Amino acid sequence: MKILVVCDQGNNRSVTIAHHLKYWGHDVIPVGIQTNSADTLALLCEWADRIILTESKQAVEFDLNPYLHKAEAWDVGPDVYPRPFNKQLLRKVRTLMESHKDVYKAS
């Protein structure tokens, strides 16, 4: 499955989630809505089978309307983590991975 993981900068939250989804065999791209152009984001949204937002508010921060049918929020909270794979962030991501394994984990 092709998955786009969206956070603000594309450095912490999306990278951590993308790493875990890649381990499950998906083609994943982490991206930041503040660090990529609207054209780039639209291209990546077209490419993706699924779009994971790290905060629900991101759906309105860029024009996600044409892609809402692909999107879901894995709300790990605001970007307060000093780096990817922060212990608090990892706990949240692992919990989310467990709760979504029926959809994302290949048998």
- List the chain pLDDT tens, one digit each, 107 residues: 999 999 999 999 999 999 999 999 999 999 999 999 999 999 999 999 999 999 988 888 777 889 989 999 999 999 898 888 899 999 999 999 999 999 998 75
Domain boundaries, the chain: 2-104
- The CATH fold assigned to 2-104 is Rossmann fold (3.40.50)
The closest of 2, 48, 57 to 25, measured between CA atoms, is 2
Question: What integer pLDDT is reported at residue 107 of this predicted model?
Answer: 54
Which pLDDT belongs to residue 22? 96
Residues 6+ apart with CB under 8 A from 97: 20, 21, 104
Give how far Cα 49 sits from Cα of 3, 4, 61, 70, 94, Å: 6, 8, 20, 6, 22
pTM of the entire predicted model: 0.92
